[in-house]
């Protein structure tokens, strides 16, 4: 085999348009991290390690034929459920919430696994009953979604619970849940809102209330929103320039390498930069939709659609939160915020998208 053949085999299952979009976002991440960390490569270097690990996993998943991927659905989901129940029973409490499971060697957060596990399971389920879908199947699928969501909401980790709900809902929606049922669900959701409110922890209510009046909690969470909005607004059309963000470098911005990294970017690159970033996200999302449209099986269509929509949701929720139109829920900016776990979860999803795209190409030819 020549070197060229080896190379071709290496990239055979990578989707180059998608990879280039992801790559540009990662590059942005490193640049902004350097600035956010006060012109220090420390965080950016660690992020590079995260990226390397995540890309490797993505490559492995992308090379996994689809029927193998489908076969992982049930075990992954089951493992996730066992771990979530484990967390509920023996989890470690940190910051007033029970999210982590101490396995002796390392602590893990099973809700992260479920970000992939839930849509995977639901898509697998719909594929299995594709020929004879009735309302009952939607009901079962909804149950597959609600069980882990309830466990995660109890931890309490409202942000993750909502995001997993969204990714599961996308599967239901794409699987063709009737509009009438969705209308009914919406009414039911509105009706149950007061009950849910009473179940929330004080700090969660506080966060929601604060959305309407951030100045109420100027020393706590409201401070994040106030300072982030100032950062974004003061960036103006062209931004203050790379490494020149005053909010960032005078220490006004909290959590500026993780959840609030978009404020750093927005302050330094302005509206123009934001347009470019939205463009990059749109490109990745658009490519995801194309892959979804081309997908040949029921399972792959649902999976690809859910992954793409979930990615779009993450990006929207984070930027909405930083610019002050959504509450602070602790969602990182996908592919840009510092953090190994979210990077890995996202790239597992993209690996699946690539596998979906490239394996059926081979089937067709």
Asked if residue 314 binds other proteins (CB under 8 A), the reply is no
Asked if 266 touches other proteins (CB under 8 A), the answer is: yes
DSSP 106-122: -EE-HHHHHHHHHHHHH
Q: Quote the CA–CA distance of 134 and 105 in Å, as a whole number.
A: 45
* CB atoms inside a 10 Å sphere around CB 139: 11
**Distance of closest approach, residue 221 Cβ to other proteins, in angstroms:** 8
Cα distance between residue 209 and residue 207, in whole Å: 6
CA-wise closest residue to 167 among 141, 192, 190? 141
Using DSSP, state whether 13 is helix, strand or coil.
coil
Interhelix angle 298-322/66-90, rounded to 10 degrees, is 50
Based on the shown chain and the rule CB under 8 A, indicate whether residue 32 belongs to the binding site for other proteins: no
In this chain, which stretch among 109-117, 293-301, 346-354, 355-363 interacts with other proteins, using CB under 8 A?
293-301
* Distance (Å, whole) CA 161 – CA 317: 13
The Cα–Cα gap between 243 and 251 comes to: 13
Is position 181 an interface residue for other proteins (rule: CB under 8 A)? Answer: no
Gap between the Cα atoms of 195 and 191, Å rounded: 8
| Region near other proteins per CB under 8 A, out of 121-129, 148-156, 180-188, 322-330 | 322-330
Residue pair 290/365 in contact by the 8 Å Cβ criterion: no
Q: Which of residues 129, 217, 243, 258 is near other proteins by CB under 8 A?
A: 217
Span near other proteins by CB under 8 A; candidates 16-24, 113-121, 183-191, 298-306: 298-306
- Binder to other proteins among 21, 80, 91, 305 (CB under 8 A)? 305
| Binding residues among 135-174 for other proteins as defined by CB under 8 A | 170, 173-174
Stretch touching other proteins by CB under 8 A, among 4-12, 116-124, 192-200, 269-277 = 269-277
Does 325 engage in binding with other proteins (CB under 8 A)?
Answer: yes
Q: Does 242 bind other proteins (CB under 8 A)?
A: no
Contact set with other proteins (CB under 8 A):
93-96, 170, 173-174, 176, 202-203, 217-221, 223, 226, 229-237, 246-247, 250-252, 266-267, 270-271, 274-275, 278, 281-282, 285, 289, 292-293, 298, 301, 305, 309, 312-313, 316, 319-320, 323-325
């Amino acid at each position: 085999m020549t070197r060229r053949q080896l190379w071709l085999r290496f990239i055979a299952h990578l989707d180059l348009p998608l990879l280039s979009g992801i790559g540009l976002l990662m590059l942005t991440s490193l640049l902004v991290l350097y600035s956010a960390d006060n012109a220090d490569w420390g965080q950016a270097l660690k992020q590079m390690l995260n990226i390397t690990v995540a890309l490797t996993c993505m490559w492995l998943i992308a090379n996994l034929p689809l029927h193998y991927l489908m076969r992982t659905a049930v075990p992954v989901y089951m493992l996730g459920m066992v771990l979530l129940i484990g967390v509920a029973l023996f989890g470690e409490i940190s910051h007033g919430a029970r999210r982590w499971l101490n396995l002796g060697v390392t602590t893990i957060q099973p809700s992260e696994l479920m970000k992939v596990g839930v849509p995977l399971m639901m898509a697998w389920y719909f594929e299995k009953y594709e020929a004879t879908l009735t309302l009952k199947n939607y009901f079962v699928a909804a149950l597959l979604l609600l069980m882990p969501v309830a466990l995660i909401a109890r931890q309490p980790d409202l942000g993750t619970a909502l995001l997993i709900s969204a990714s599961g809902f996308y599967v239901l929606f794409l699987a063709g849940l009737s509009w009438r049922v969705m209308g009914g669900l919406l009414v039911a959701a509105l009706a149950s809102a007061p009950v849910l409110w009473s179940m929330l922890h004080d700090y969660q209510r506080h966060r929601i209330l604060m959305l309407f009046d951030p100045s109420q909690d100027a020393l706590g969470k409201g401070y994040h929103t106030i300072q982030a909005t100032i950062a974004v607004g003061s960036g103006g059309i062209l931004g203050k320039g790379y490494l020149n963000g005053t909010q960032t470098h005078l220490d006004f911005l909290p959590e500026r390498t993780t959840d609030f990294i978009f404020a750093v970017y927005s302050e330094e690159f302005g509206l123009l930069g934001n347009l470019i970033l939205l463009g990059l996200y749109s490109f990745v999302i658009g490519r995801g939709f194309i892959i979804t449209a081309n997908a040949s099986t029921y399972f792959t269509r649902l999976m690809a659609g859910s992954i793409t929509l979930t990615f779009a949701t993450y990006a929207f929720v984070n930027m909405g939160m930083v610019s002050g139109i959504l509450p602070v829920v602790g969602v990182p900016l996908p592919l840009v915020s510092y953090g190994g776990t979210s990077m890995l979860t996202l790239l597992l999803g993209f690996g699946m998208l690539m596998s979906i795209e490239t394996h059926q190409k081979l089937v067709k030819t």
